[in-house]
Amino acid sequence: MKQIIGIIILLSISLGLSAQKDAYNINVKLTESKDTSILLVSYYGNTNMKVDTGYLHKGSYTFAGNEPLKGGIYLVVFQNKQYFEIIIDEDQHFSLETDPKDPINKMDIKGSDDNSNFYAYLDDINVYGRKSSKLNAEYKKVEGDKARQDEIKKQQQEINSKVKETKIKFIDDHKNSLFSKVLLASQEPEIPTELPLKEDGTPDSTFIYRYYKEHFFDNFDFADERLLRTPIYASKIERYFKKVIVQRPDTLIKETIAIIEKAKPNKETYKYCIWYFTYQVETSKIMGMDEVFVELGKKYYLTGEAYWVSEGTLGRMTKRINTLDRLIIGKQAPNLIMQDTNMQLQSLYDIDADFTIIIFWDPDCGHCKHEINGLIAWYNQSAEMYNVKVYSVCSDTSVVKWTKKINEYKIHDWINVDGPRSLTENYHDLYDIISTPTIYLLDNKKKILAKRLSWKQNSQYIIRKYEASQKKK
């Protein structure tokens, strides 16, 4: 009997020690909830990552694990994709209970000051939110009653001031908390009401933009990995990248490198920023963004700074960087030496024209037909005036299909060459031809002016360049 009691006591101690060893232990109770799956999900940049899973039985489940959770804002997701947020930082042993129909207002936290303070803040903000919604609804109803609408605007301003005061008070009261850093990071710059004067005494209208840009990231810690696991990190960087700074390669190179370097002290934020910016510029639809991709690739991938990428990924990145590097706008286009329909070699560099259009096309491509027909109509009317020539590269190996299409399109005055019959290296690699049609526009020195535009966009570009040159004369 004594031996049995001893074993029971030993087991109790062992179980207690096991619970204490959990690096995180978060008990969730949802009142009047059906048995259902429950997830613990982390923000990560602009995506979500599943961290832990369980099954809510009789309204209760405990998330637990041997490794601490990384700091951030997490989602507890349950039935029908309903969710609420919790703060994960140093306090990783706590419990919460709430009503799934009204999780914020009914939330009861035990063992976590971070989450108790977080939900107290949300309660206050929700009160102001409900008041604001009622005023918005009333504003629409009293359309035409200017006096009442002005009064509502004044009340809305008062609510906005209260919200601002609530945020400031939270930050002051909880200076070291993660959520205070989130609130600080999300703040918008306050623009001075008075504009400075230029040397001629007139207001400096560019000051507002410059001030806003300069102070956009005040109180934003790029190297705080915890912020990466909140909604604010990716959204603010994305807004700055896409909406605030000028979408010009030299500007983007300077600005993105500055942000990446600020994120460098933490390997997770460093990794994320390098990935984010290289991905954005590589997949951008804006012409010329490949220059930014090349510069970032050279600085971070080809130097080994992006140490986390696999050998295979690095090999593909290296090839992509080298391919796009020779096709940057302003660089001389690679030469092409290919056979024409008379089996004579035609060199791209031998073309004497103010503008050269290179079009890569396929006889069976429907979109190619549309682009070629449009280009033909414009070319026949404007080629002589603007001194334009077309270097037409067919991608098909069949001479019969190729010549048939030339006759069909009546493009005998173009320089028609066959891509597979070439003295220069594979044109797919040389000009990054992934699909047809692909069009490049070159100047009289065969420098790239534009690429991957439609025939119409290229014609408009030629006209603008021509008109600008005429004004200089």
Q: Sign of the C-alpha dihedral, residues 50, 53, 58, 59? A: negative
**What is the model's pLDDT at position 19?**
46
Let me know whether 341 and 232 are in one domain.
Answer: no
CATH of the domain at 128: 2.60.40.1120
Q: What pLDDT score was predicted for residue 334? A: 97
Supply the pTM of this predicted model.
0.89
Query: Is 247 in the same domain as 226?
Result: yes
Contact 127, 192 (CB under 8 A): no
Question: Closest by alpha carbon to 428, among 341, 351, 380, 360?
Answer: 360
Domain boundary among 305, 325, 345: 325
Do 242 and 267 share a structural domain? yes
Quote the pLDDT of residue 440: 98
CATH number, domain with residue 342 = 3.40.30.10
Q: What are phi and psi of 391, to 5 degrees?
A: -100, 105
Please check whether residue 8 lies inside any domain of the structure. no
Claim to verify: residue 94 and residue 115 sit in the same structural domain? yes
Structure token digits, residue 169: 């008070």
Q: Which of 219, 234, 260 is the last residue of a domain?
A: 219
Three-class DSSP labels, the chain: CHHHHHHHHHHHHHHHHHHHHCCEEEEEEECCCCCEEEEEEEEECCEEEEEEEEEEECCEEEEEECCCCCCEEEEEECHHHCEEEEEECCCCEEEEEECCCCCCCCCEEECCHHHHHHHHHHHHHHHHHHHHHHHHHHHHHCCCCHHHHHHHHHHHHHHHHHHHHHHHHHHHHCCCCHHHHHHHHHCCCCCCCCCCECCCCCECCCHHHHHHHHCCCCCCCCCCHHHHCCHHHHHHHHHHHHHHCCCCHHHHHHHHHHHHHHHCCCHHHHHHHHHHHHHHHHCCCCCCCHHHHHHHHHHHHCCCCCCCCCHHHHHHHHHHHHHHHCCCCCCECCCCEEEECCCCEEEHHHCCCCEEEEEEECCCCHHHHHHHHHHHHHHHHHHHHHCEEEEEEECCCCHHHHHHHHHHHCCCCCEEEEEEEECCCCHHHHCCCCCCCEEEEECCCCEEEEECCCHHHHHHHHHHHHHHHHHHC
- Are residue 358 and residue 390 in the same domain, yes or no? yes
Q: Are residues 406 and 386 in the same domain?
A: yes
What's the domain range around 405? Answer: 337-472
Domains contained in the chain, number: 3
**Do 362 and 397 reside in the same domain of the chain?**
yes
- Collect all residues with Cβ–Cβ distance below 8 Å to 442 and sequence separation of at least 6: 333, 355, 356, 357, 358, 448, 449
Same domain? 35 vs 136:
yes
Domain final position from 294, 325, 356: 325
What's the confidence (pLDDT) of residue 144?
Answer: 86
Would you say residue 10 lies in a domain? no
7 belongs to a structural domain: no
Quote the CA–CA distance of 86 and 190 in Å, as a whole number: 29
The answer to whether 349 and 335 are in contact (CB under 8 A) is yes
Do 191 and 120 lie in a common domain?
A: yes
Parts of the chain with a pLDDT under 70: 1-21, 473
Quick one: pLDDT at residue 282?
95
Nearest 10 degrees: CA dihedral of 189, 257, 242, 432?
Answer: 180
User: Tokens 């029971």 correspond to what residue?
Assistant: 8
Does 160 reside within a domain?
Answer: no
Tell me: do 299 and 399 sit in the same domain: no
Q: How far apart are CA 99 and CA 126, in angstroms?
A: 16
Q: Tell whether 281 and 426 lie within a shared domain.
A: no
The predicted structure's pLDDT at residue 22: 85
Q: Is residue 401 part of a domain?
A: yes
